[in-house]
Structure 1
Amino acid sequence: MNTLPPGGVIPELFHGLFDDAAVFPPGNLPVVDAVPAHRLHRTAWYTEAVGPLLCGAGRLGELAAAVANSPETAAIQGRAAGADGSVAAGGRPLKVGLVLPGGSTELAPALAAAAPFELAGVELATRDATEAVAALDRLLPPDVPAAVELPRELLRGDGLDAVLDVLVDSPYRAKFRTGGLVAEAFPDEDELAAFLTGCARRGLPYKCTAGLHNAVRHTDPETGFEHHGFLNVLLAAQETDRTAAAAVLAERDGEVLAKAVRSLTDRQVTVIRNSFTAFGTCSIAEPLGDLAALGLLSSPSPLHQEDR
């Protein structure tokens, strides 16, 4: 992976938007490679756009070993590194978002295993929002944010309102899956609009994950999957009307979306980012490249495929 020169500008709308999900499908970058790649993101001109490195609970030991054995850690060993060497470039702990696909039973052991890192957040998958909130209330340090994800089949019809009502009375965000490895993993515009507007009406923040690393809605030419665009989601995040949100999500013209982004006021940007806080992407350079191509990002040089 080539580093990119300094000098770019990241608009406020995109600050911290791209959580680094490089080790998750479909990217599946080995953890030993994901650590130095994330460190490069953290020192690159676009660092303001980058969130934490996401890691599943079952791979924290692998992550600690990769950090401890990295050349960067060896260079600072004895100065800023801890006993296990779990530090990032510059002597600071690696900022990690903890993903718990196994539910709240994973929470306590995962928190203990994540002790060497700077815990940026917890993402907890569950089938019971009330139980998940109770577990987070009991075990999560008060300064650590969390997001709760329920299966999409439980968020249809009255189930969506019931779950969002539980979360809005908690300190935690919602999390919604916007794609995956099969066509059925991708919600259509109306289903996603129902989630977005349900959150917007309640003032409930959320993050998204999977299938969202391109800026504009499109059909993947290889798989035929219908991918949502993260610009579509950003713009739809300010809508409280489901039909209006679905129309924004359906837009496939990048120039139309780019024009709408350029017309946003500072207040609208604040509203949008208070709602849609981040999404996981296995590529950091790909969404940045899309933004640069649409003229929404001032980058110091083109983002080539080899930078991804």
Structure 2
Amino acid sequence: MTTDISYTTEEISKLLKISKLTVYDLIKKGELSAYRVGKQMRVDASDLEAYKIRAKGGKVYASMPDIPVQQLAQPTLTSKKDIVITGQDVSLDILSKHIERKLTSYRPLRSYVGSLDSLISMYKGESDIVSTHLLDGDTGQYNLPYIRRLLTGNSYVVINLVSRMAGLYVPQGNPKQLQGWDDLKQPGLRVSNREKGSGARVLLDEQLRLRGISPRILSGYGQEESNHMGVAGKVASGEADFGVGIEKAASMVGGVTFIPLIQERYDLVMLKKPENAEWLESVIAILQSNVFQNELRPIQGYDLSQTGQILFEN
């Protein structure tokens, strides 16, 4: 039945022959009803049909194939321009608020996807400010090796948002006595894992690879959670012996102990394109401002010693 069918934003953009950003804009303005399943937005078929009926009645033929996509995606002179910001950390929500306040002709839109998917979305032209915390195990570097590989041919700036501790979530009392990555060789361990492409998943996979530990020995490795809180929750409930994540989430879930193992850099990437020039310097100024940093300072687990520092530019 039609009521049992739902679509992703990507499927909606193909059905209506408009860009994904236009789909997000319709959802943001309440013109197209949507809901979240994990990290993904979904639109029911009945809500899509209702939108199409309203659009046709209002002479907005968004689904007609003979109208150029460029014309559909182009904002009106009175509308705000969108800045799509990817990532899940609360610091990004705070940044969005500052952008909205300072850049009144722009509207920040949040996309809650992982680090690797964020960089891919930037390469495909679907996002403007992407966050990433990806460890390259061979070099010990965060983010830059991945950025260079994925954004080859582009000019961009990498700037630090925060640094934060990452490590293991274990149940209170640490019954398996896990103290470091080498302890993951212990047979019979159950893991609460993150989704592929997330920074925490890459961190775990790199540490296993460097130590020659097969993921197959970890029960639950293929079962994925979409955020740090979900991982910590599985550990707290006794469904897993450990998970990988950041300190802040552990402090918000009772029954979980955090074992700090590595300080990770949580960086932002922005493309240096002519159409971004109008807002790019303003966003950097926000990141470097005392007002923004003072709002981050009370949040547990953040190291702001490099916040606003340009780490790489080409």
Same fold per TM (> 0.5)? Answer: no
Question: Greater helix share, 1 or 2?
Answer: 1
Question: Greater strand share, 1 or 2?
Answer: 2
Instruction: Using structure 1 for the length normalisation, give the TM-score.
Output: 0.29
Instruction: Using structure 2 for the length normalisation, give the TM-score.
Output: 0.28
Q: Greater Rg, structure 1 or structure 2?
A: 2
